[in-house]
Structure 1
Amino acid sequence: MKLVYLCSPLRGNYEENMKRATEYCKTASELGVIAFAPHLYFTQFYRDTIPEEREKGLQLGLAMLDKCEELWVMGNRITQGMASEIAYAKEHHIPIFEIEHPEEKEFYPISADENQLLGRHSCEPDSQEQNYEGKILVMNYDALKEEYRSRPFQLWLATGGFGCSPSARGRRVFATNMYDGEQTSFYRQDFAGIVRKEVLEEVQKQYQFGYTNQESQSTSETEEEGIEP
C-alpha cells in the first residue's frame, strides 16, 4: 500500500483541526492508502505550545515526509508548518496533490490502477504560462471521473481553442486523448501544464497508446465559443 503524508492545519481551533485530520486519515485509509498525519502522532509526546517541542515535532514530520510517496495538501488554508512541508516536498521532488475539498472522498487523488497519478510535478517548470497548442498536457485528476483517474486518461494533445493562450479571454481548450483518441474540450484550468518528456516516455511504456501527434488536426473556434460563460 502507498504511504501518503497528509498536510493539514493544526494551530487555530486545535480540537477541531485534530478531529478533521482524524477524519481525513480515515477516509484516505478506506480508499486504500496508508495515511499519515504528523500532528496526530507527534503531539502525543511533543506539545505544540512549547516552541522547542514544536520544533522537534516539525523536524520529525519532515523526516517522515521523506519516507512517503506523496504529499496531500488538505484544504485551502496553508499554515506556517504546512508551508514548510510543501517546500520540503518540492525540494525533494515528492509529488504534491492539492485536495480542495478534503471532506469529500471523490476529491482524493486515488488512481483507478496501481500507477501513481500525474500532477504538476509531472509538468515542465512554468509551463502553465506557455501556449498549449500542439503540446501534450497533463489533466488534473479531479477533472476526471473516478473510474478514469489513471495516467493514460490524463494525457491530452491540445489541438486548438482560445484557452491554449495564457492571456486570452476564452479559456476553452480543444484536445485529443493520447490513449484512446477521444476528442473533446476542457477549460485551461483543468490542466496542470505541459508534460515533461521523460514522464511521457515512462507512461507510454506502461500503457498501449493508440494515438500519435501526427494524427492531430487543428481545431478552430469562434470568439463567442471561446469565451468562458
Structure 2
Amino acid sequence: MDSRKPLYRHSLKEAVRHEEKDLWRECYKINCDCARAIERIIAENYDGKKLGQDLAEPIIEQYGFNRVNWVLANTVQQKKEDGRISPENRQWAETFPIPQEEHNWQFEVSSHPGLTDLFISDVRKAWQALGLFTAAHCVENSQNQDYTGKLLVLNPYILGSAYQTPERQLFLARDGWGCIPGAPRQTVFGRFLSEEKDQITFFNRSDFIGVLSAEYLPDWAKEKLAAMEVPEAEETPSDGMTLQ
C-alpha cells in the first residue's frame, strides 16, 4: 500500500454515489496505518517524563503533511471536550472539513492526549516552517473579486506533498466561469507562475485562498511577470496583483 497516495476527503456516502468506494477504502486504511504509526513513535520515544524530539519528521516523510494533518485533526475532533488538548490545537483542528462518520474513531490517535497534543504542535511547527502563503498574505475579502488576470494563492492542502511550497501556490488566472463570483460553474483556467512553459491548467474557485497582496509578491515572481509576453504587471493594493 502506497502511504503517499492522495488523500480522499469525501464521505463514504459520496464515494458510493460517485463510484469511488475503492478510493475511499484505500484512503481509510492508510489513515488507520498513519494513526498507528503516530501511536508507535510516541510510545517508543516517551520515557515517562518527556517526549523525544523531532518525532514528526519521519511520520511526515512517510505519509505526507496532508494525511498527517487530517489524522491529527480528526483525533482532536473526536476528543472535542478533552481539556488536555490545547485551545490552539482545537481551533486548528476545526478548520479541517472532515466528514463525520462512524468509522472515524478508527483513525483517531489513541496515545495519551497530552502527548498527542505535543506531537500536533510539532507537526504544526514543521508546517509553518514551509513558509507558505496564507489568508494573511491576500487582499482582504478578495474571495469576492473577479479573478480574471489576478495572481491567486492556492490552498496548499490541495497540492501534493512534493509541491507544498510558496512558489507552487502562485497561480495566474486567465479566464473561466470560476473567475466570476457566484457563477454557476467554478472552473478557473490559468497557469502556475513558477512553471517555465505556459501550460494551461485549471482548479475550482474554492481551491484558492484569495488574491495575493502586492506587498507580498516575491522578487522571483516580479521578474517572472515582467518577462511574460503580456503588459507589465501593475501593483494595485486594493485588488492585489493584476495583469491588465
What TM-score do you get using the length of structure 1 for normalisation? 0.47
Q: Greater share of helix residues, 1 or 2?
A: 2
TM-score using structure 2 length: 0.45
Q: Going by fraction, where is strand more abundant, 1 or 2?
A: 1
